[in-house]
A = this chain, B = another copy of it.
Amino acid sequence: MSAPVKSPFALAIRVPYGHTDQMGFVYYAHYFLYFEMARTELLRAYGVPYASLEARDILLPVLEARCTYHRPARYDDRLAVEAGVGEIGPVRFRLTYTVRRDTDLLAEGYTDHACVSRRGRPQPLDPCLREVLERIRVGGNS
User: CB within 8 Å of B: which residues of A?
Assistant: 14, 16-18, 20-25, 27-30, 32-33, 36-37, 40, 49-51, 59, 61-69, 72, 74-76, 111, 118, 120
Contacts and interface: CB of A to CB of B under 8 A. Distances in A.
Q: Count identical subunits in the complex.
A: 4
A83 B98 CA distance: 28
A27 B18 contact: yes
6 contacts: A14-B40, A17-B36, A18-B33, A20-B21, A64-B69, A66-B67
Given A16-B33, A18-B36, A63-B69, 4 more contacts: A18-B21, A28-B62, A51-B76, A66-B67
A20 to B, nearest CB: 4
A22 B59 CA distance: 11
Contacts of A29: 18, 29-30, 32-33, 36
A105 to B, nearest CB: 14
A40 B17 contact: yes
